[in-house]
Structure 1
């Protein structure tokens, strides 16, 4: 019996059920079983879970009862369909920060798990969840990874961010043992740079993982280095990316370097895994048995067009997030996937709402425009587009080592084409573009 099978059958149940007295093992089994249901059965289950949560919020979460009453809801029984649900007020990050205490039910306050996220803007955001919700999130995440071959116990390299700041030796040891127990090898993406990138390549080749899990941009940098130096790499069975948007040209680059399929995932710290690709790579399956995911344009639910993502976590009774706007945009689909997975589809994650560049003439330039444009300019190592006022943008560029005379005119022409010449464009050559506090690189920053 190999380690993965031994882990799933023996070690994993012993650790969580016997030692931790947790329900995680049972929840993993249940989550996987739900993939044998029809989509109608999943939607029925979703509605049952949502109805339970709404009743709980009405009676236990002061914020929701007050806000729903303000729009004419006199009884929770009035919210009797998803159509009616979609008319409820949305919840913003600012709402959470302003009315934090009103959103935490008194019955769970003492036992809640408290979490924080730096967010793409670097502004700390705090929230809470109950233990049962934490267990459900783990189960859904492992199910999604398992669908593409990165399941529990699989020998995997994680090119991921690790704990920041002064971490005690005990905590470092504890985290190291936990990762090795799961057969995971952690490579700190925050510390990877031009001077040590070869060590990361050698480490991966030494470990010979069956799977890799990574932030997108560090993996792209690694792939570029491998291809440029014609390095023969160990071939994993699968690569899973997350935390950042994955563009098709980036997928092609990574697949070329590692000679294996790359599968994208989408999530946020507030709810963990929202959707993930299957082996067909035809879109992302939405975890509707844990979440209600909507996309909104001017407050109205839409499908087959990009909109602001609204998420309702069906499992978090510690601090319920109902129609919560996480700041991202996506396109939902009416299509079904022929892979056999009944979960409905998300065509694409379209970036953060803050990533959209605005023009004085009313045009909106999606963040995806810029990676697709800049990939064709080989003299550019890194870039970032920053907008601090409506009339102009600042394009920051890090040159490749061999570049000496950059030509900005072709870039200016392309931007002028899409903005209809309404934007003033300033170019700055910089030494580096820093990551956000959460270890990601934002390609566009709109402060307007």
Structure 2
């Protein structure tokens, strides 16, 4: 560790947390200790958190008190996990229709942190959390970031869309003192942008490469084409999309370091992550209760793909109890040799978003397009972008409240800014957008190339 990185971790980070009265550092230290508790100890802590959350929701949340009563589930008497599983699975549609009712008593919606997410299904959701919940999530992410070999305060290279770059002098000083982040913007990946990214890498010397799974793979391909072989981070953290085996192998060949695969969603944050042993994803039982369910609602067996259903144990403001995230995971019966007591998940299946392509060959990440459209414009409940040629696109939309022709015009302007003024954008206004035959929704579909 360089002297500057040492100062960032041991001086500037604690000073900043003290100055801002942020509890993140204390949360992080506690999580560092708890990860090596035994499986039984972690399970007992998880069960206690589940009990507290569910009983709170039953008493202090109008949406859940009604939901529990209708299901014949009562928090007024002792209950078991079998009783808990009588509670209906929560769907995205129910969240969209009941966002306000899902806010618990004692929480002012105007004082909560609010964000809108397109999720992995292209359907917009309004999510509310407290600052405490946010800090707990950030502390957990920091713990898992360190599993890659990265250390607090070390610079990061991110392959990400719509990067939030420091603009003011104060923001630049903060970035320098706490840990610089350089970006390769996935809204435009080409030889020039990759070359500029490499120059910035050489100046900043990041130790962690972070980004969308396929975006990192795409960067690796450009580096090999450009014969750039000296970028050697300590770790690589892949997220947001399913990491395909051939992509993992290619990335590891180019960077000569193992990829750490992570899975999560914005609604409940980090769900699972590989450790330094890369023997599966450790489930985040500190903050979540995770179920793998067959279509009939029964539990999936070990090694059997099942629908992921998650209860968030730390979001009391807007509880998510038995929430189906619309992804499929495979539970593991193995134990990791790292010694941590967390259960393992073998893999997540079906999380792939196509890149779209510009006439000059530059690729645009589908995730970045969704982040800049579905989550920014009102009146869009669901959308899918289909590229039929270099110049033609179909945008399929399921309209919500406030949808009008102005939104369509704004979307067209946005697409032309990205892909060129000569493109043609057609719209299909639908009542629903059906998933693929595999059962997985794709929010971008590219028919120009098939790589």
The question of a shared fold, defined as TM-score above 0.5 by the shorter chain, is answered with yes
Q: Could you list the per-position Cα deviations for residues 44-92 of structure 1 after superposition, in whole angstroms to 9, with x for gaps in the alignment?
A: 00011111111111111011110111111244434x2333222311111
Shift in CA distance, 328/136, structure 1 to aligned 2, threshold 3 Å: same
Shift in CA distance, 120/185, structure 1 to aligned 2, threshold 3 Å: same
The answer to whether the aligner puts 1:300 opposite 2:301 as a matched pair is no
The answer to whether the aligner puts 1:6 opposite 2:3 as a matched pair is no
Q: Matches of 1:297 and 1:250 in 2, distance apart?
A: 29
- 1:84-233 residue pairs with structure 2 within 5 A? 84-109=83-108, 110-163=110-163, 170=168, 176-196=172-192, 197-233=194-230
Aligned to 1:320: 319
- Pairwise CA distance, 1:270: 1.2
Q: Matches of 1:326 and 1:349 in 2, distance apart?
A: 12
- Pairwise CA distance, 1:324: 0.9
Partner SS, residue 127 of structure 2: strand
Q: Matches of 1:262 and 1:309 in 2, distance apart?
A: 23
Partner SS, residue 77 of structure 1: coil
Check whether the contact 1:383–1:397 (CA below 8 A) recurs between aligned residues: no
Shift in CA distance, 188/175, structure 1 to aligned 2, threshold 3 Å: farther
Q: Could you list the per-position Cα deviations for residues 146-203 of structure 1 after superposition, in whole angstroms to 9, with x for gaps in the alignment?
A: 1221232122212222358xx9955xx6655444333232314234322523222333
Q: Could you list the per-position Cα deviations for residues 92-141 of structure 1 after superposition, in whole angstroms to 9, with x for gaps in the alignment?
A: 11111111122101301253211111234444211101122111101111
- 1:208-357 residue pairs with structure 2 within 5 A? 208-298=205-295, 299-303=297-301, 304-352=303-351
Q: Matches of 2:106 and 2:288 in 1, distance apart?
A: 23
Check whether the contact 1:233–1:257 (CA below 8 A) recurs between aligned residues: no
Q: TM-score scaled by structure 1? A: 0.75
Shift in CA distance, 88/123, structure 1 to aligned 2, threshold 3 Å: closer
Q: Matches of 1:7 and 1:446 in 2, distance apart?
A: 41
Aligned pairs, how many?
A: 371
Shift in CA distance, 157/168, structure 1 to aligned 2, threshold 3 Å: closer
Shift in CA distance, 117/176, structure 1 to aligned 2, threshold 3 Å: farther
- Pairwise CA distance, 1:262: 1.1
Check whether the contact 1:154–1:183 (CA below 8 A) recurs between aligned residues: yes
Structure 2 unaligned segments of length 5 or more: list them.
356-362, 367-385, 391-418, 426-435, 444-451
- Pairwise CA distance, 1:337: 0.4
Q: TM-score scaled by structure 2? A: 0.74
Structure 1 unaligned segments of length 5 or more: list them.
356-366, 372-380, 385-394, 400-429, 435-441
Q: Matches of 2:84 and 2:344 in 1, distance apart?
A: 20
Partner SS, residue 102 of structure 1: coil
- Pairwise CA distance, 1:330: 0.8
Check whether the contact 2:309–2:325 (CA below 8 A) recurs between aligned residues: yes
CA RMSD of aligned residues (A): 3.2
Partner SS, residue 101 of structure 1: coil
Q: Which moved more, 1:268-277 or 1:115-124?
A: 115-124
Partner SS, residue 9 of structure 2: helix
Runs ≥4 residues deviating over 4 A = 167-170, 173-178, 381-384, 395-399, 442-447
Q: Matches of 1:383 and 1:272 in 2, distance apart?
A: 21
Shift in CA distance, 300/178, structure 1 to aligned 2, threshold 3 Å: farther
Q: Matches of 1:297 and 1:184 in 2, distance apart?
A: 44
Q: Matches of 1:245 and 1:7 in 2, distance apart?
A: 33
Q: Matches of 1:4 and 1:77 in 2, distance apart?
A: 53
Q: Could you list the per-position Cα deviations for residues 203-241 of structure 1 after superposition, in whole angstroms to 9, with x for gaps in the alignment?
A: 323433222111112211111112223222221111111
Partner SS, residue 69 of structure 2: helix
Shift in CA distance, 60/122, structure 1 to aligned 2, threshold 3 Å: same
Q: Which moved more, 1:227-236 or 1:64-73?
A: 227-236
Check whether the contact 2:163–2:183 (CA below 8 A) recurs between aligned residues: no
Check whether the contact 2:156–2:209 (CA below 8 A) recurs between aligned residues: yes
Q: Matches of 2:442 and 2:229 in 1, distance apart?
A: 40
Check whether the contact 1:264–1:276 (CA below 8 A) recurs between aligned residues: yes
Partner SS, residue 257 of structure 1: helix
